[in-house]
């Protein structure tokens, strides 16, 4: 693996050109002779890229608000040569990802380049013995990803902030794309977060799949769909790996050509009159969302009343009965029920037994824990109302009082802190504190 500084030195070319130049004319390799099969592969990728870029330009033309060109504010080689604090954040088979701080603003970005010691290039070198040709082969993937990121715009797709690549000055095809920086998705960590946060990740994903199914480039399938293709940026899930995507629906002569295969399941789809497998891209995405995300993130510790609806979503996506539109609608329904507190079972009220006091806050010391808590110091949960908090406090033997804090979650629900030790409370602030009537010595407050 090259040192980050060495990598940057390689790519710091003087000018930034629009992508149109990249693919405007077929260029040919001028250096060492290439094995014919590698040459063919390179030509195939080049054609593939020009076709994609042409359709991206066409879609940008027909629907200007959606097409996104490289604008004058886009970052380029000049900014890249001045970055500091370069560190590795991730790598895959094809690409190496560094983080770096921009000159002037100091804002951090992710820099993607070809992973010269990654599996893609190494396997190619083993086969063809031509490192430069193999580098170029991989660089096409990066360029393809760049075209997708330029043509698609959605909060669930990582934002392309610029690029450094100049085909006329750069026969080596050193490509660097500059992206917003995220943090890799940690599935294990995510499994330990409250249901509301896991639901958010699934909802973000469904919104992305809905966009991809109806995108300006047609229905887009993520062929390599795994949690490691996603990152989190400011609490939003975003796809970052877009080099292996398809905008073509599989061509067919009859229904028998349209099977969608997964390790655990095979689906038979219809062949349309136009000779395409109907909805195959959208369905592939949905089943992958089901098997990699929904099954793990959606059901556990969901509010009791929402569980049948979530089960129905799992069943419908797992059997591909829902398309992207229906799935999104079902998720929005769950969100609505959750936000409105309609999942709460109407039981007798507990709150009226509590003594409400305004103007206390907690010392922030450790108290009893619960799972899954929003705070590692104690038991902090998102609640719909003080009424729901009272029900929770009643169900926790340790709970003697709770505070409705001014902090809220992404759904706008307040966080409530449940505590056992009244000495944790001190006067001051605007929070409401509710004290269990049985709590001893509350009068000492």
Ligand X SMILES: Nc1ncnc2c1ncn2[C@@H]1O[C@H](COP(=O)(O)OP(=O)(O)OP(=O)(O)O)[C@@H](O)[C@H]1O
Q: Does 182 bind ligand X (CB under 6 A)?
A: yes
Q: Does 89 bind ligand X (CB under 6 A)?
A: yes
Would you say 34 or 157 has its CB closer to ligand X?
A: 157
- Closest chain position to ligand NAG (CB): 318
3-state secondary structure the chain: CCCHHHHHHHHCCCCCCCHHHHHHCCCCCCCCCCCHHHHHHHHHHHHHHHHHHHHHHHHHHHCCCCCCCCCCCCECHHHHHCCEEEEEEEECCCEEEEEEECCCCCCEEEEEEECCCCHHHHHHHHHHCCHHHHHHHHHHHHHHHHHHHHHCCCCCECCEEEEECCCCCCCCCCCEEEEECCEECCHHHHHCCCHHHHHHHHHHHHHHHHHHHCECCECCEECCCCHHHEEEECCEEEECCCCCEECCCCECCCHHHCEEEECCEEEECCECCCCEECCHHHHHHHHHHHHHHHHHHCCCCCCHHHHHHHHHHHHHHHCCCCCHHHHHHHHHHHHHHHHCCCCCCCCCCCHHHCEEEEEEEECCCCCCCCCCCCCCCCEEEECCCHHHHHHHHHHCCCCCEEEEEEEECCCCCEEEEEECCHHHEEEEEEEEEEECCCCCCHHHC
In whole angstroms, the minimum distance from the beta carbon of 382 to ligand NAG comes to 25
Q: Does 411 bind ligand NAG (CB under 6 A)?
A: no
Ramachandran assignment for 429, one of left (phi > 0), alpha (psi -120 to 50 degrees), beta (any other): left
Q: Does 365 bind ligand NAG (CB under 6 A)?
A: yes
Q: Does 92 bind ligand X (CB under 6 A)?
A: yes
Interface with ligand NAG (CB under 6 A), residue from 133, 182, 323, 414: 323
In whole angstroms, the minimum distance from the beta carbon of 225 to ligand X comes to 10
Interface with ligand X (CB under 6 A), residue from 116, 150, 151, 240: 240
Would you say 186 or 366 has its CB closer to ligand X?
A: 186
Residues between 296 and 315 that touch ligand NAG (CB under 6 A)? 315
Would you say 160 or 379 has its CB closer to ligand X?
A: 160
Would you say 16 or 97 has its CB closer to ligand X?
A: 97
Would you say 124 or 328 has its CB closer to ligand X?
A: 124
Q: Is 204 a catalytic residue?
A: no
Among candidate residues 170, 224, 367, 424, the one labeled active-site is: 224
Q: Does 149 bind ligand X (CB under 6 A)?
A: no
Q: Does 60 bind ligand X (CB under 6 A)?
A: no
Interface with ligand X (CB under 6 A), residue from 13, 56, 158, 286: 158
Would you say 2 or 318 has its CB closer to ligand NAG?
A: 318
Interface with ligand X (CB under 6 A), residue from 224, 278, 326, 387: 224
Interface with ligand X (CB under 6 A), residue from 7, 53, 75, 97: 97
Contact window for ligand X (CB under 6 A) among 22-30, 60-68, 179-187, 376-384 = 179-187
Active site residues: 224
Binding site for ligand X (CB under 6 A): 89-95, 97, 110, 115, 158, 179, 181-182, 184, 224, 228-229, 231, 240-241, 243
Q: Which residues bind ligand NAG (CB under 6 A)?
A: 214, 315, 318-319, 323, 325, 365, 421, 423
């Amino acid at each position: 693996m090259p040192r980050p500084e060495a990598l940057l030195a390689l790519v710091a070319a003087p000018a930034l050109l629009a992508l149109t130049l990249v693919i405007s004319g077929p260029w040919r390799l001028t250096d060492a002779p290439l094995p014919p099969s590698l040459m063919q592969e390179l030509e195939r990728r080049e054609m593939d890229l020009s076709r994609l870029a042409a359709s991206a330009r066409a879609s940008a033309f027909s629907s200007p608000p959606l097409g996104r060109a490289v604008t004058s504010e886009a970052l380029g080689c000049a900014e890249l040569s001045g970055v500091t604090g370069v560190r590795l954040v991730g790598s895959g088979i094809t690409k190496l990802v560094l983080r770096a701080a921009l000159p002037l603003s100091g804002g951090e970005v992710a820099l993607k380049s070809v992973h010269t010691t990654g599996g893609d290039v190494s396997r190619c070198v083993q086969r063809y013995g031509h490192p430069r040709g193999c580098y170029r082969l991989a660089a096409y993937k990066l360029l393809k990803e760049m075209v997708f990121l330029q043509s698609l715009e959605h909060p669930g797709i990582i934002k392309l902030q610029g690029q450094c690549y100049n085909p006329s000055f750069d026969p080596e095809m050193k490509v660097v794309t500059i992206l917003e920086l995220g943090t890799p998705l940690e599935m294990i960590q995510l499994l330990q977060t409250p249901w509301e946060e896991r639901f958010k990740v699934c909802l973000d994903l469904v919104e992305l799949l809905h966009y991809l199914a109806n995108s300006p480039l047609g229905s887009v399938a993520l062929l390599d769909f795994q949690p490691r293709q996603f990152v989190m940026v400011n609490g939003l899930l975003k796809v970052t790996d877009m080099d292996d995507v398809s905008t073509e629906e599989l061509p067919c002569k009859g229904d028998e050509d349209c099977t969608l295969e997964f390790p655990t399941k095979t689906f038979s789809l219809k062949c349309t009159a136009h000779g395409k497998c109907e909805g195959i891209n959208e369905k592939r995405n949905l089943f992958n969302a089901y098997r990699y995300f929904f099954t793990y993130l959606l059901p556990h510790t969901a509010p009791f009343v929402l569980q049948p609806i979530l089960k129905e979503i799992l069943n419908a996506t797992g059997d591909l009965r829902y398309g992207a539109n229906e799935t999104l609608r079902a998720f929005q329904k769950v969100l609505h029920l959750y936000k409105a507190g309609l999942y709460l079972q109407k039981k007798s009220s507990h709150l009226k037994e509590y003594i409400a006091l305004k103007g206390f806050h907690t010392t922030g010391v450790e108290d009893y824990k619960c799972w899954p808590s929003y705070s590692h110091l104690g038991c902090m949960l998102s609640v719909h109302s003080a009424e729901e908090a009272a029900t929770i406090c009643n169900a926790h033997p340790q709970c003697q009082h709770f505070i409705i804090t001014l902090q809220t979650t992404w759904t706008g629900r307040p966080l409530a802190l449940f505590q056992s030790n009244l000495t944790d409370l001190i006067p001051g602030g605007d929070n409401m504190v509710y004290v269990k009537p049985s709590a001893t010595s509350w009068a000492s407050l």
